[in-house]
Amino acid sequence: MAQKHFNFDDEDVKIKKPSGHKASMNETQEFHFKDEDDVVSAKKPSGKRKLKKWPIVLGIFVLLIVIGIVSVYNMTKEDGPVYGDRCAGLLPITQNIKTTAIEAVKKDHNSVKSIHIETACRTVKIDIVYVGGTSARVAESIAQDAAKKLDAASGRPKATNSAFSDLFGTYNNEKQYEINFYLTAEDNASEYPIYGTKKAGSDNFNFTLASVRDQATYNKVNKK
């Protein structure tokens, strides 16, 4: 009679399984508690945190905007929207005054093809185009007369010891307008263009030709 070999339950049983064998529900399988996996997979903090870049970029962008706004505000506060206080205290030169002067110049001088007068803060700009054949001397003389006609059109009385009113001198201790001339001719003669200036408070005119007869005046007019 064949003998059977018995094993107690507390003894280790090693059973050699054929290749490809899958464990059945009744066979013992190795397992781990859930918290065991957590312990194994947990990593020790490295001690260094990676900084996100976008908050830094956003902060720099906002800072630049604030700096720009403050700069614009300070410039506006100091200089005003365009010229600021530099233009305060100026007597007005209305469009009617300019139109009256232009018509008077055209009426008295046939050599003038066109004339344009504009103001920019403390500067009056007079641009005149002459007909061909007008000499530089005649052009300069007409330009000076244009300045006098503009002054006369304002209706203000002549200042003491001056050929001009306080419009081109001093009013309430404030220097008024200076005049810049730009004279050209339709035939583009070699003497043109002619540049000219008249400073506020002075009756003198300074002109320079394209050939630079007066280098100092030329440098002053073309100063950047």
The predicted-structure confidence for 108-161, as pLDDT tens digits, reads as follows 999 999 999 999 999 999 999 999 999 999 999 999 999 999 999 999 999 999
Task: Specify the pLDDT at position 59.
Answer: 85
Q: Percentage of the chain surpassing pLDDT 90?
A: 49
CB–CB of 198/178 below 8 Å? Answer: yes
Q: Which domain holds residue 68?
A: 56-87
Q: Does 113 share its domain with 217?
A: yes
Q: Does 148 share its domain with 131?
A: yes
Task: Specify the pLDDT at position 29.
Answer: 53
Task: Specify the pLDDT at position 45.
Answer: 55
Q: Does 146 share its domain with 209?
A: yes
The total domain count for the chain is 2
Out of 38, 70, 87, pick the residue that ends a domain: 87
Q: In the block, which residue shows the tokens 């006609």?
A: 149
> What is the β-pairing status of strands 174-175 and 170-171?
antiparallel
Q: Does 100 share its domain with 202?
A: yes
Q: Does 61 share its domain with 111?
A: no
Q: 2 lies in a domain? A: no
Residue 170: band (very low, low, confident or very high) from pLDDT cuts 50, 70, 90: very high
Q: Does 101 share its domain with 199?
A: yes
Q: Per residue in 40-73, pLDDT tens? A: 455 555 555 666 777 788 888 888 888 888 876 6
Task: Specify the pLDDT at position 25.
Answer: 47
Task: Supply 162's token pair.
Answer: 């001056």
Element (H, E) at 106: helix 95-108
Q: Tell me: pLDDT of 181 over 70.
A: yes
Q: Per residue in 203-213, pLDDT tens? A: 999 999 875 55
Out of 87, 105, 130, pick the residue that ends a domain: 87
CB atoms within 10 A of CB 98: 20
Task: Specify the pLDDT at position 50.
Answer: 62
Q: Does 76 share its domain with 161?
A: no
